[in-house]
Structures are given as structure tokens and as C-alpha cells.
Chains A and B, each alone.
Chain A
């Protein structure tokens, strides 16, 4: 650790991983609700559990991004973070806000209250006071990081990272605008939901990936930066108008069907680019970095993001196809592999890379960490296949044959049982990962040394 304030990242990563554990546990509960529809129906209704699953995902990924920024910006800018206190204050606000959302929803307190009541808009369900807290935390973060970068060295990695992070914060402001007209509501809603994951988050992803490639492969910064700018340009070119693929059936004019189909088809390009980037860097790289787990997660991230976000996204993005598949299990299949590949794996990659450095140790528990990669990636891939087949059957029975929704769900039961199995693998993988990065080790285990169990 070259800079003392990089330590801030440790706190962020810990909270992020705690929420990750919560997220996948709730995911497992949801998986069982699909198998047995009345499971916990009185205690945690499906919609509340579903909200917890997606919101804790978004929050922990963001905490991971913040942690990554606090870790890599000092190294890139070659100076300490502007204010350590503010960084911890920001984390505290986010933790209180997250707890506030959970309590508000689980016990339905302050129902209907303008400031404290639940808002019930998917992904932006937070009560107003939490939304305000998020904005304050975002302002603190942007001030802190921007001041650090402005006073220090400016690199392509910090430029693109800041562009992405500023975009995330500015787009979140649309969550305060809630038109009574449902079509308009949805239109602005996608400004956040789509332009985050298919725009600004991709910039964050590309810059963190670039940082990891720079460190892990030892390829010249000049080469990495050229790739990074191209990837950022491709992401924005395809992603911004790609928003149109959410405007097919919400009451917006018909030309969105073509704009959405054409531009969102191109969204596969930046994801292919990131995969090509990661592999080319590793092939060209001369450095044999000891942190193999971080490298595995980086390559896994780029590859699974290409398949989850790119290929599975394209699968149902053309409006002629989406007319039939919209909102079926095909969407769930895409959502799971895209989020896992692009953003979960990215966070786990930077955590795998940063943790040994933050704790002042050599990379350790590599075998466990890599095992957790294969458990999670394998589980998630199998889950994606299961849900894709479920979605295909569902599309035919429900949308082509016109059978009732619940009748079709009964027929999908076997797929949901298999999906629950894959969920167990993912949860085990997550627990294993957290154990592998946190379990203190006294000595480094070297591969091939006999007598030492290579756990």
C-alpha cells in the first residue's frame, strides 16, 4: 500500500461483502419461493424479498465501486485522498440509508408519508429521506475524489472513472421526478436504470478493468489508455440511444422500436471489446503477477460480461423478438448473468487484487478464492441456462399459445428446482470467497510444497 488513505477502501469492501452475503441469501430464499409459492408469504412477501435482492445488489456494487475508487485513485493521482474523514462519513450515511430502506419495507413504517414512506418504484424504492441521503453521500464522494484527482496526476483511468461516477450521481437525480403519467414515469425511470448499467457503469467497469490490467499484466500504460478511450466511446455510442430498447411497449412513439433495436444491438460491441482487451493484455503482458485469483476474476468478468450482457442481451433486444419474450424468464436469465459477469465479478476482481495489499500481506488463499470463482461462475452459468430454457418454454406456452400465467408457472416448476440448486452453488461460492479474502493467514502457501494442505 503506497498511500495511507487507500485503507478507506478496506471499510467499503467489508460492508460491500456483507451486503453481498445478504443479497445472495435473499436470492436463495426467492429461489425457493419459486419452488414453493407460499414460502414465507406472511413474513416477507415476494415483492419485498425481491426488492431486497436487487437493491442490496445495487448498493453493494456501488460500495465496491466507491471502494475501488478510493483504492486506485491515490495510486493513479499519486497523492493521498483529499479527506479521510469525509470518506468514512460517506460510508456511514450509506449504511444508515440502507438500513433505513430495509426497516421501512420489512415493517411498512410511515406508509404513505411523503418523506419516510416507501416509494415502490422498482430499484428506486428508497423513501425520500434515503434518496436525499444518497445524494449527500454522492456529493461528498465526488468532492473528495475530484479534489484528489484535480490536485494530483490525471490519467485516462481516473478521467473515465470520474466521468462514469459523475454520470451515475447526476442520473440518480431523476429518481426525485415521479410523473403521475405511468408512461412518462417509466421513461425517466430508465434514465437511471438503463443509463447506469448500460452507460455510466460500463465506464467504471472499463476503467477498473484497465487499472487491473495495468497492474497485473505490466502492459504499457499507453496501450491500456488507447483501449480504454475506445471502449468508453463505444459504450456511450451504443448505450445512450440503446435506452430505446426499453421504450418498445410503454407508450412512446413507434420509431423507438427501430432506434432501440439498432443501437442496443451494438451494445454487444463494447462488451466484446472489453473481453478482447483483457485477453490481449494478458497475452502481451510480460509480468507474472503472483495474484492469480485477481487475474482469474478479471478475465472471468470480461468473458461473462460479454455473454451475460452482450449475447444474452442481444438475444431479446430486437423488438420483433422482445414482443414475445418481454418480462419472461429470458429477462431473468439475462439479468443474472449480466450483473454477475459485468459488475459482481468486477468488484470481486478488484477486491481480490486490493485485499492482500490493504492488509499488507502476500496474496494468500488463492486456491480457495479461485475455487469460489468456479463455484459462483459455474452456478451462475447453469442458472442462466436453466432460466433461458424456462423462458423459452414460457414464451411459447404463454405468449404464443396464450395459456394463463400461473398455469404456465406450474409447468416451469422443474426449471425452478434446478435453478434453486444453482443458487446453492452461488451462495456457497460467495461464502467461500469472503472466507478466502478475510481469513487471516500467517504464512504464504506456495503451490507444490508437500506437507502443506493447499486449501
Chain B
């Protein structure tokens, strides 16, 4: 750790090793969930296509733009944090958090619309996975907002890097969920 040579192996990872352990674990879980979703879909392609017709792809598309933009703000916040522009970094983190909240509101409206149609996770296997995967992802958005708030409070380049890494993971998972669940 105190050596002057360039870090190698796992020490070369930006931020904290524990965050990377978490990110890899999360990707494994969501990857397994999506793989299971696609495997079950093979057994009932017609039912899945019919169920997918009830989803609001436009709202999810908007949410994709919202979340990716939010990730961009987090990346900008890291740059400001590294150059010592603390106020600006905090502002950008705040913007990232607000967009995270916008994502959750849109998500909530989507769930309300489903619920009004009487659709629950027991309606069809498709909706079991829909609620499970997007719900699990939404919980990570909430966790991400909390993490970004903590980072904004105890701001440092390293903390910002760790928080932004988690936020990008949340981003990445959504970018995978969106096409597979809503579009394909």
C-alpha cells in the first residue's frame, strides 16, 4: 500500500475494493435473474409477448434517458471533486440524486397503472420477473440516492469515486433490464 510503484492487480481498481466486490456480486444476481427470465420466456413466448404488451415502454424509455443523464452528472461530480471544486461537485451530486428521484416517480406511476389493471406478480410469470427485477433495481436506486447523499456530505475524491461507481452500476443494470424486459 505504501509502496511507490504503480498499483497492480486488484490494487489498481479505482475507489474501494469492497465496492467492486459488491458491483460484481450485483451484476451476477441481475445477470442470473435476466437469464432465468429469458429461459422461462422460451417455454411460453406467446404468453410473454402478450403480457409485455401491457408495459409502458415510453415511460421506461424516458426513465433510461433520466438515469443515464443522472450517471453523467455523477461522473462530472467526480471530476469537480478531484479538482477541488467542492460546491460544484455537491451541486452535480444533488442533480444526480434529483434525477434518481424522477426515475423512482416514473417507476411508481408505472406500478400504479399495473395495479389498476389488476396485474400482480401472480398474474403471469412475465410479471413475476417484471416486478422482481425492476423492483429489486428500484431498491438499488433508493440505495444509490442514499449513497450519493452520504458522498455529498463527506465529500472527497475517493468517496465520490466509490459512490459514482455504485451509481454507474445501477445505471448499467437498468440499461440491461430495459431492452430485455420492455422491448425484446
A225-284 with Cβ < 8 A to chain B: 226, 229-230, 233-234, 237-238, 253-255, 258-259, 261-263, 265-266, 269
B121 and A254 form a contact (CB under 8 A): yes
Query: Of B21, B22, B128, which one neighbours A258 at CB under 8 angstroms?
Result: B128
**Considering only CB atoms, which chain A residue lies closest to B28 in the complex?**
A266
B interface, by DSSP: helix, strand, loop or mixed?
Answer: helix
A255 and B18 form a contact (CB under 8 A): no
Query: Of B21, B121, B131, B132, which one neighbours A233 at CB under 8 angstroms?
Result: B21
Q: Known contacts A230-B17, A258-B33: does B132 contact A266 (CB below 8 Å)?
A: no
B121 and A253 form a contact (CB under 8 A): yes
Per the CB 8 Å criterion, the residue count for chain A at the interface is 19
B1 and A254 form a contact (CB under 8 A): no
B36 and A234 form a contact (CB under 8 A): no
B128 and A230 form a contact (CB under 8 A): no
Per the CB 8 Å criterion, the residue count for chain B at the interface is 17
A427-448 with Cβ < 8 A to chain B: none
Task: Say yes or no for A222: interface residue by CB 8 A criterion.
Answer: yes
A interface, by DSSP: helix, strand, loop or mixed?
Answer: helix
B6-27 with Cβ < 8 A to chain A: 17-18, 21-22, 25
Task: Say yes or no for B29: interface residue by CB 8 A criterion.
Answer: yes
> What residues of B have a CB within 8 angstroms of the CB of A269 in the complex?
25
B17 and A263 form a contact (CB under 8 A): no
B117-168 with Cβ < 8 A to chain A: 121-122, 128-129, 131-132
> What residues of B have a CB within 8 angstroms of the CB of A229 in the complex?
18
Task: Say yes or no for B112: interface residue by CB 8 A criterion.
Answer: no
User: Complex: how many Å from CA A253 to CA B28?
Assistant: 23
A254 and B128 form a contact (CB under 8 A): yes
User: Complex: how many Å from CA A24 to CA B29?
Assistant: 39
> What residues of A have a CB within 8 angstroms of the CB of B28 in the complex?
266
Task: Say yes or no for B32: interface residue by CB 8 A criterion.
Answer: yes
> What residues of B have a CB within 8 angstroms of the CB of A258 in the complex?
33, 36, 128-129, 132
Query: Of B17, B21, B29, B122, which one neighbours A234 at CB under 8 angstroms?
Result: B21
| Nearest CB in chain A: distance from B3 CB, A | 12
Query: Of A233, A237, A265, which one neighbours B32 at CB under 8 angstroms?
Result: A265
B29 and A266 form a contact (CB under 8 A): yes
> What residues of A have a CB within 8 angstroms of the CB of B129 in the complex?
258
> What residues of B have a CB within 8 angstroms of the CB of A226 in the complex?
17
> What residues of A have a CB within 8 angstroms of the CB of B18 in the complex?
229-230, 233
| Nearest CB in chain A: distance from B36 CB, A | 6
A254 and B122 form a contact (CB under 8 A): yes
**Considering only CB atoms, which chain B residue lies closest to A255 in the complex?**
B132
| Nearest CB in chain B: distance from A379 CB, A | 35
User: Complex: how many Å from CA A262 to CA B122?
Assistant: 19
**Considering only CB atoms, which chain B residue lies closest to A237 in the complex?**
B25
A263 and B132 form a contact (CB under 8 A): no
Across chains A and B, which 5 residue pairs bring their CB atoms closest together, nearest first? A262-B32, A237-B25, A255-B132, A230-B21, A233-B21
Given A230-B17, A233-B18, A262-B29, 6 more A-B residue pairs with CB atoms under 8 Å apart are A222-B1, A230-B21, A234-B25, A255-B132, A258-B33, A259-B132
A residues bordering B, Cβ < 8 Å?
222, 226, 229-230, 233-234, 237-238, 253-255, 258-259, 261-263, 265-266, 269
B residues bordering A, Cβ < 8 Å?
1, 17-18, 21-22, 25, 28-29, 32-33, 36, 121-122, 128-129, 131-132
Question: What are 6 inter-chain pairs, A to B, with CB distance below 8 A?
Answer: A238-B25, A253-B121, A254-B128, A255-B121, A258-B33, A259-B132
